[in-house]
Amino acid sequence: MSWLFLALAILTEVAATLSLRASEGLKRKIWAAPIAIGYIAAFVCLGFSLHFGMPVAVAYGVWAATGIALTAVLSRIIFKEPLSRTMAIGIALIAAGVITVEFGSSAAH
């Protein structure tokens, strides 16, 4: 159950971040509600993920890394923003760090 809520946290946070980009820095007020609702939902879902037993280091690491990766890829697709090879390597390094934290957390139990 904790992984389901973490997935929802990631998806709502990415949606809110992309909405923030679409709002052009909140110049387009129509995006204000999806931004606010998305970020609130993301934190509530992250809280439920922790409530159901996921360690905070794992939850936050996976949330942040996956959010960065999804936002970068979707920003490239939707907004035609750059996604260079160097950026992709950075995302891979973040993912490797999160995997390392997950293994460390599993080994601690």
The Cα 53–Cα 3 span in angstroms is 10
The pair phi, psi for residue 82, each rounded to 5°, is -70, 145
Tens digits of per-residue pLDDT, 3-39? 999 999 999 999 999 999 999 888 899 999 999 999 9
| DSSP conformation letters of 23-59 | TTTTTSGGGHHHHHHHHHHHHHHHHHHHHTT--HHHH
Tens digits of per-residue pLDDT, 71-100? 999 999 999 999 999 999 998 998 888 888
Q: Residue 81: left if φ>0, alpha if ψ -120 to 50, beta else—which one?
A: beta
The Cα 97–Cα 35 span in angstroms is 28
pTM of the predicted model, to two decimals? 0.87
